[in-house]
Structure 1
């Protein structure tokens, strides 16, 4: 009875090897077009505060600690960290800090692992429209970002 429930090694060993090889081949075929996209990608964010809109552009970086935050009218600080290289984008982290208290206070953090760049992306393709409010004075900052594939 137990022999019926356990699969025979003789029948499944070649199948498993074939399955493993086909998985490797499939992953190579799927990953190949995206490997080229990493070096030709950029994150574009439309940030608006107090009726003023600005488009910020961020390129991939190897060291997240060297990425500078952008001061928005001395009220907020916006930082986008795009980690990647020629092989692709590994991670995008977005931060919004409040500057009302004299020192930066983190209000919002968003992380996107292994995002895929798009050629004709809508401005909010990656993040949607995000709205953040300052807790002390109720100031409002909104942003939307898209990871774009640039023309080679």
Structure 2
């Protein structure tokens, strides 16, 4: 169980073309306001964690292939309650490999969930 200063933290490691980005996500009330992260100018990744009072209602993960005018959704994963938060960061997702585009470029990601010690 968390102490008064801890909140859930979702940490995703997203890799493309030999570079890994770490995306940390905390609770958000409006999932449409969650930031979209550029991954190497080819992909976009968005992690959403909605909840209150240290309890997670749901987590959604989105991956997009960037286009000239629009980003194209290539992956969406949903995790619903009950979602248990561990004392230490533990894997929430498997290690995912996504392929998209004319030459099937590869995006990899894995997300971990734990308590954010503030």
Q: Give the TM-score normalised by the residue count of structure 2.
A: 0.88
In the TM superposition, 1:45-60 aligns within 5 A as 45-60=12-27
Q: What is the alpha-carbon distance in structure 1 between the residues aligned to residue 59 and residue 13 of structure 2?
A: 16
In terms of fraction of residues, the more helix-rich structure is 1
In terms of fraction of residues, the more strand-rich structure is 2
Of 58, 65, 68, the residue aligned with 2:32 is: 65
Residue number in structure 2 paired with 1:76: 43
Which has the bigger relative contact order, CA under 8 A and spacing at least 6?
A: 2
Q: Deviations over 1:5-43 (max 9, x none)?
A: xxxxxxxxxxxxxxxxxxxxxxxxxxxx47x68x61110
Return 5+ residue gaps in structure 2 as ranges.
none
Aligned length in residues = 116
| Structure of higher CA gyration radius | 1
Tell me the CA shift for residue 135 of structure 1: 3.3
Tell me the CA shift for residue 151 of structure 1: 3.4
Return 5+ residue gaps in structure 1 as ranges.
1-32
Q: What is the alpha-carbon distance in structure 1 between the residues aligned to residue 10 and residue 64 of structure 2?
A: 19
Q: Give the TM-score normalised by the residue count of structure 1.
A: 0.69
Q: What is the alpha-carbon distance in structure 2 between the residues aligned to residue 59 and residue 87 of structure 1?
A: 10
Q: What is the alpha-carbon distance in structure 2 between the residues aligned to residue 52 and residue 43 of structure 1?
A: 20
Q: What is the alpha-carbon distance in structure 2 between the residues aligned to residue 147 and residue 97 of structure 1?
A: 22
Moved more, 90-99 or 127-136: 127-136
Residue number in structure 2 paired with 1:145: 111
Which 4+ residue blocks in structure 1 deviate beyond 6 angstroms?
none
State the superposition RMSD in angstroms. Answer: 1.9
SS of residue matched to 1:40 = strand
Describe the shift of the 1:44–1:87 C-alpha distance in structure 2 as closer, same or farther (beyond 3 A).
Answer: closer
Q: Deviations over 1:82-113 (max 9, x none)?
A: 10122411100000011145311110000001
